Chain A
Amino acid sequence: MITLDDFYRAYGKVVAPPDREQRAAVERPATDAVFIVAGPGTGKTTSLTLRILKLILVDDVPPRGVLATTFTVKAAAELRSRILGRGFRLIETLRKDRALAASIRERVARIDINQVRTGTIDSICEQLLREFRDPGTQPPVLADDFVAKTLLLREGLLASRRYEDKDLDGFLLDLHGGSRWGFHVGRMNDLVQSIWDRRFHDQLDWPAFVKGARREERTARRVLGEVVDAYAAALAERGMVDFALLEQEVLQRLRAGRLEEFRRDLRVVLVDEYQDTNLLQEALYFELAKACRGALTVVGDDDQSLYRFRGATVELFSEFARRYQQVFRRRPAVVFLTGNYRSTRRIVELVNGYARLDDEYRTVRVGAKPALKSREGAPDGVPILGMFRKDRPTLAKDLATFVHRVFRGRGYRLLDGTVIERASEGGDLGDCALLCSSPAEYNRNDDPRLPRLLRAALAECSPSVAVFNPRGQDLTEIPIIERFGGLLLECLDPGGALQAQTRGLAPDMMATFDRWRQDAVRFAQSRTSPARLKDYAVGWADRSPGRAGWQWPFSVPVLELLYGLAHFFPEIHDDPEGQIYLEVFTRQVSACGLIGKFKGRVVTDPSNQELSDRSVMELLRDFLGPIAGGTIKVNEELMEAFPRDRLSILSIHQAKGLEFPLTIVDVGSDYKGNYPAQAFKRFPTRGGTPHAMEDLLRPYCDLGAPRRSETDRAFDDLFRQYFVAYSRPQEVLLLVGLEPTFPGGPVRNVATGWARNGICRWASNRPFVGI
């Protein structure tokens, strides 16, 4: 339609033009396969966006012929935003470009860029099954994670009390790591769900897996087979599919030559975050690419692959060229993006050094991968900073002082006189984040961890500073959840008479219920309890409308109780964070409504007490049980943005894809010594659950058993985790930990420069200055 020169001329008027490497990725012809290896901050999304726009405007690919997917809902929204935002500005510029013939300008004006299909692979699969379905057939009803977990728990583990099976218990405990700590029915459910997902993600030969065990495991695998069969039957009975089944269904349809109308229009497939792909998704992408003669572009970075625990197989990325060639009989063009636009030179230097620190790790990286390069004119920046203190309270206090001085004071002065200050216009705590391997506020022994101590220390500062840490607390222990859950229990089942008779409530759920109830009763009787709350709760408990001439209805949605109680808690109905917790309850009610016999309703039939009781027992088991059992997590998609006036504390996983002007990385606030229980987080002596899962399942799929030991893979994952953490900052990186983790100190720790051969590279060549 237009020439490449026209394209770049117009693009240059919209934003900064691409660099040489980015151009190489953008300019490959539409029919080519392209393998883009893009380091952090190298403009990966920009390049992908630009390639899509070039395909449409220069190569004449119709927008509806472009399919672009990525890993998370947020990343998909960002990719779409960029395609539309840049695309429209580019089209406007071209429409006004007098150097182009009028007929071309007219054609450009007719382009409907919105028709580019974008989304996560799951959302795309759902769209395909909905839009291209046959008459008389149902579009898929997607069982979201709430429904899937609840059904698996109820129909799989709790039914027939399979969770009590000793063989299954031992089998899952092994996968959990052998310790009973944190091993409850919710955790068992998570493990079974992972195996179920991997059955499809790894394209397992399931019958072979179930039969092929060592004798001592045979019973456990048989019971496991029963658990997932019961789950699958329960889904099928309701006409539902979960995410794994959804993708599997689309793969089968593509392989059977169906979805013709969609395949006919498809011209190019582009996949972002390909390092987190699994075998099922690879099969899907290859099938889609077959519809467009192999025109597949993949983008990613093996150093940033963090999702092994969700079934991601990084080898599919690092070996993409070979695997593509096996299917399509040609090699993809390989493009490396190395120009870093995010960070100062010192940070880029640290990140490069870190990637080369461990000889073993270097062998698993994409072959011939060049180092990151700082952009021209990038500042050196301040040195990397390190804050190591003798104990956690001191560390928290000093860190709070640092944060407070930067964002609420006159800045933090370094020894060389440099003062780190917040941005002069609108600078605030949102420009900073603390990244940890886990943002949990308490450890196994209920001792406060750095996030908790920091929260307290910042609260004591003047003016005080608040912390935003939605993942920091176990949901069941958040005070408002405890209180709300307890009130719901007391309203539905006062005193717990029915709870005691409810089948399918695991002991840990009951214990949580009891704790919640005690808290709620204490609260309702306290002076701070809102007026009329007690009357409302007692009315519900007695099923008495409290009005003469009225009687309690036969059936009431439990949602009515939920919203009635929410009335008494402004921290629920008037606080955006409280809304997120309320949504946990309502989503679980919806899940319960979808799978239960009573559809999330409380039945009150004085002539049939048994029926009434059963409706309540269903709510205890399917509504409140999964929340109390720890199966349910908050929906982070509901958080519009990190609040700018609070310090965000994030896991490194949460921080992926984000950047912060000032990034604080907790490299060792938990480690006072080389305690074996913490080894998996700093210097593994064996693999964790995801590695054990791979060893268990991979022999039954085409990939075969992993070639590297589970310990080596655990090391690789830790290096990737801190590679991601160290590449988040734009200007200042501060490492924090306890003194024993100081490089060269007694604690072996991958995050502070230890290679797996037991040598600390940072001991003799410390990359930071202490503060």
Chain B
Amino acid sequence: MRLSRRPPIYSLPPYSLTGDLLGFLRCGLQYRYTRIGQLPSTQPVQMWFGQFIHGVLEEAYRRYAEGRKAGRAVPPPWPRDVIVDIVELIKKRLAAQGLYPWDEGLEALGDARAEVAINELGPELFPLIQRAEVRLTGARELPLAKIPERYRFRDADRYEMVGVVDVITHVQLRDPSLRGNRLVKAILAALPQRPPERFEVILDYKGMRRPPRTVREGTSFWDVYAWQVRTYAELRRTHEDSLPIAAGVVLFVNELLPTRSDLVQLKREVRAGDTDVVPARGSEAERSLVGWRERDEVPRFPLEFRLARALRVVEVTEESIQAALNAFDDVVARIETCRGKELEQGRVLSTWETNPSDESTCTACDSRTYCPAYQKEREPRLPGVRVRG
């Protein structure tokens, strides 16, 4: 009498656009430890900053929307005490989750960026918002053909795509109140053809500077962010309340208030031709950038230039959506293959992809000393700070 084979549990793996897709592309092994294994980072600085900015903008919008619902919308700029109230609320929320800035400089920078984001971006953005923090889900066929048969370990034919869009905006071109809106102007200017009379735009905040367009080695996050908003567009368009999606916008919040190191990097990228938004010839922004030296104070660039650097408009077409979905499938197949290998071999280090191309990702990684791909640090160093003088 032959026994049967125990049927595997039927479960569709959920893959999120940020935590899974971006996490894996940054480094597969790090993703295994931190996302699948849930091991926290010793340096959660980026996590604090990202969540802080998202939280601040969401809370600010909620307050604006509450006023709008009551018929007395007061768009920013808002007085400092209101901003402080919002900022402190979010800090408290993050602290309750164990997230702290740990550095007064970072905290002050966060406060300043929060204020700029609310008071300079808010007046343009908030009137356009239809919904904030929109959870999107969809299911796609598991790309089985891309997963070697021996590593297919689940009885599932699909995977679930999960994402949270920061903001969905509705735009009516003839709406007089939107005349002169800088965001609308920037979006329309970036699109190759005029969108329909009413359309929507998916907007995603990133608590980082605008990445270079050209990447010489490793993953191009320029491309990855474009896939991300295009995938959002695919998931969003099944919603009953959706309008035709004309574009996705990735908003790099740090560009609204760049730091000294941001400017150093910007100058380097401008020289190398790696970035797509540079100051117009003869503009005030160009004068400020060209004349700036590292020891100087960071100049306040005109809002037009900062917004242009902050906004990246991603065109959404049928073809570009399909390309994004295929790219997503590829990454899912790579993750599933690694998972299958780990299950088969009972090992972690040799079964996950590594990506040592970005030094800052590696130096912040808690597994760097035993990572097979990172050779600069082969054993843990004891904590230490240089003695001054």
Contact = CB atoms under 8 A, between A and B. Distances in A.
A574 B369 CA distance: 13
A132 to B, nearest CB: 12
A716 interface: no
Contacts of B348: 573-576, 579
B370 interface: yes
A730 B10 contact: no
Given A240-B96, A576-B342, A641-B8, A112 B3 contact: no
Contact of A81 (B89, B156, B369, B384): B156
Interface in B1-39: 1-12, 33, 36-39
B194 to A, nearest CB: 27
B124 interface: no
Interface stretch (B59-67, B169-177, B250-258, B319-327): B59-67
B96 A138 contact: yes
B3 A420 contact: yes
Interface in A522-580: 532, 536, 539-540, 544-547, 549-553, 556-557, 559-560, 563-564, 567, 570, 573-576, 579
Contacts of A590: 40, 98
B283 interface: no
B369 to A, nearest CB: 5
B98 A586 contact: no
Given A240-B96, A556-B383, A573 B158 contact: no
A731 interface: yes
Contacts of B280: none
Given A419-B1, A583-B38, A641 B9 contact: yes
A423 B160 CA distance: 31
B2 A424 contact: yes
Given A85-B158, A583-B39, A590-B98, A551 B387 contact: yes
A426 B6 CA distance: 10
Interface stretch (A5-13, A279-287, A625-633, A656-664): A656-664
A432 to B, nearest CB: 8
Given A78-B9, A576-B342, A422 B3 contact: yes
B5 A139 contact: no
A17 interface: no
Contact of A576 (B2, B66, B346): B346
B10 A540 contact: no
A112 B238 contact: yes
B382 interface: yes
A586 B40 contact: yes
Contacts of A426: 5
B380 A638 contact: no
A419 B2 CA distance: 8
Interface residues of B, number: 65
B100 interface: yes
Nearest to A431: B6
Contacts of B295: none
Nearest to B59: A135
B387 A640 contact: no
A431 B347 contact: no
Given A239-B92, A536-B380, A563-B380, A431 B3 contact: yes
B54 interface: no
A430 interface: yes
B216 interface: no
B72 interface: no
A89 B158 CA distance: 10
Contact of A114 (B2, B3, B138, B342): B138
A550 B388 CA distance: 9
A426 B155 CA distance: 14
A573 B379 contact: no
Contact of B100 (A238, A574, A599): A599
Contact of A599 (B37, B98, B342, B367): B98
Nearest to A110: B238
Contacts of A134: 66
A560 B364 CA distance: 11
A560 B383 contact: yes
A667 B6 CA distance: 23
Nearest to A599: B100
A732 interface: yes
Interface in A198-244: 238-240
A138 B89 contact: yes
B193 interface: no
B343 A641 contact: yes
A509 B382 CA distance: 28
Given A559-B40, A660-B6, A575 B347 contact: yes
Contacts of B367: 563, 573
A546 B37 CA distance: 32
Contacts of A573: 348-349, 367, 370
Nearest to B67: A135
A732 B66 contact: no
Interface string B86-114: 00010011001110100000000000000
Interface string A115-150: 100000000000000010011101101000000000
A559 B38 CA distance: 13
Contact of A431 (B5, B92, B387): B5
B5 A238 contact: no
A641 B366 contact: no
A593 interface: yes
Nearest to A646: B346
A427 B98 contact: no
A74 B367 CA distance: 29
Contacts of A141: 93, 96-97
Nearest to A659: B6
Interface string A667-710: 00000000000000000000000000000000000000000000
Contacts of B221: none
B385 interface: yes
Interface string B337-349: 0010011001111
B42 interface: yes
Contact of B3 (A418, A593, A662): A662
Nearest to B141: A88
A421 B63 contact: no
Interface string A723-737: 000000011100000
A80 interface: yes
B137 A553 contact: no
Contacts of B39: 579, 582-583, 586
Interface centre among A560, A563, A600 (most CB of B within 10 A): A563
A263 interface: no
A524 B102 CA distance: 33
A469 to B, nearest CB: 16
B387 A549 contact: yes
A151 to B, nearest CB: 13
Contacts of B7: 659
Nearest to A62: B240
B386 interface: yes
Contacts of B59: 135-136
B223 interface: no
A574 B347 contact: yes
Given A552-B384, A659-B6, 19 more contacts: A82-B10, A84-B139, A420-B3, A422-B3, A423-B3, A431-B6, A549-B387, A553-B384, A564-B369, A567-B379, A570-B370, A579-B33, A590-B98, A593-B98, A600-B98, A638-B37, A640-B343, A661-B4, A731-B1
18 contacts: A78-B10, A80-B160, A88-B158, A135-B66, A136-B63, A138-B89, A141-B97, A422-B3, A424-B2, A547-B384, A550-B386, A552-B383, A560-B366, A567-B370, A587-B38, A640-B343, A661-B4, A661-B6
Interface of A: 74, 77-78, 80-82, 84-85, 88-89, 110, 112-115, 131, 134-136, 138-139, 141, 238-240, 381-382, 406, 418-427, 430-432, 532, 536, 539-540, 544-547, 549-553, 556-557, 559-560, 563-564, 567, 570, 573-576, 579, 582-583, 586-587, 589-590, 593-594, 599-600, 635, 638, 640-641, 643, 659-662, 730-732
Nearest first, the 4 closest Cβ-Cβ pairs linking A and B are A545-B384, A114-B137, A564-B380, A550-B384
